Structure 1
Amino acid sequence: MSEKKTLVLGASTNPERYAFKAINRLVQHHHPVVAVGLKEGSVAGVDIEKPEIIHSDINTISLYVGPAHQPVYYDYILKTKPERVIFNPGTENPEFQQMLTQKGIGYEQACTLVLLSIGDY
């Protein structure tokens, strides 16, 4: 299994949130993680940063921000130029998916936690 550096957008220190669970699971599967969220904190030893630094080495962005709140992140995600964006359940956004396609960025509507659990990440 190859490591896929993953940026979790919508990171949270709340153990009930799926983004929190995804960060933990990604770390357990030895994928390097960048956690990006609005509130400071740390999850599984990964500090949560604000969406200010553009990372140029991201394979996957795992999205945990609902469609209504995604537009403010469009430029950030497009400038990051990931190989793919995973739209986790509840984050599906046809408008943004079309923008990704136009920029040559792949996407899938899937669940990061499920992909990791079945070895299909």
Structure 2
Amino acid sequence: MKKTLVLGASLKPNRYSFLAINRLRNHNIDTVALGLRKGEVAGITIDTQKLPYTDIDTITLYLNPKRQEEFYDYIVSLHPNRVIFNPGTENPELYKILKDNTIEIEVACTLVLLSSNQY
């Protein structure tokens, strides 16, 4: 299925990235996570280093546009098919970079996409 990187993953249960990891796992979607603090959510290790993940279909963003800047090259280097911009992550500068690299942009909520079977 669609291997997903949760970028901006959090260990805090009240964060949307935490909920997304749980829901992705509930949908049996292969999931990896990158965040500020190492830990585990729903059996998924949150990495703190920009690892060279392979076969990433989707990156779902949980970083504000300013925090995204340091990840531009990294995101492109993973060659995802699409990047989901969750509410609050919208970033026209990154949209252009992704379009220039033929990476699909989806401005949506991962949680809604999963709950409505549109993921």
TM-score norm. by structure 2 comes to: 0.98
Q: Which residue of 1 aligns with 2:16?
A: 18
Q: Which runs of 4+ in 1 moved over 3 A?
A: none
Is the contact between residue 34 and residue 50 of structure 2 (CA under 8 Å) also seen in structure 1? no
Q: Which residue of 1 aligns with 2:6?
A: 8
Q: Please tell me the residue identity of whatever aligns with 1:119.
A: N
**1:1-121 to 2 correspondences below 5 Å:** 3-121=1-119
Q: Please tell me the residue identity of whatever aligns with 1:106.
A: E
- Following TM superposition, by how much is the alpha carbon of 1:94 offset from its aligned partner in structure 2, in angstroms? 0.3
DSSP-derived class of the 2:21 partner: helix
Distance in 2 of aligned mates of 1:116 and 1:103 = 26
Distance in 1 of aligned mates of 2:37 and 2:110 = 22
Distance in 2 of aligned mates of 1:52 and 1:66 = 17
Is the contact between residue 8 and residue 17 of structure 2 (CA under 8 Å) also seen in structure 1? yes
- Following TM superposition, by how much is the alpha carbon of 1:52 offset from its aligned partner in structure 2, in angstroms? 2.0
Cα RMSD, aligned residues only: 0.7
Distance in 1 of aligned mates of 2:71 and 2:77 = 10
TM-score norm. by structure 1 comes to: 0.96
Is the contact between residue 22 and residue 42 of structure 2 (CA under 8 Å) also seen in structure 1? yes
